[in-house]
Amino acid sequence: MNYTIEDFARDHNITSEENAHAVAQLRQDMRLYELREACAIGMALELGNRIVRYKYPHGEQ
């Protein structure tokens, strides 16, 4: 016997509107998380580039 998401929602009196709202909120949270991670990676790459330019100002590596 399989216990489905629909079974869980029915057992906990969760409406389809509440479920849709929760899903939309989760997707928004995921987009914000991914954006923060992308910004952090970009900042780390820029910092690394600045360190290299400082250490080797004339391109001699």
Q: Where are the domains of the chain?
A: 5-55
- For the cut 80, the answer to whether the pLDDT of residue 60 exceeds it is no
The whole-angstrom separation of Cα 59 and Cα 49 is 12
> Which tokens belong to 59?
């391109």
- DSSP state, residue 17: H
pLDDT digits (tens, 9 = 90+) for 19-35: 999 999 999 999 999 99
pTM score, two decimals?
0.62
The letter for the amino acid at 48 is: G
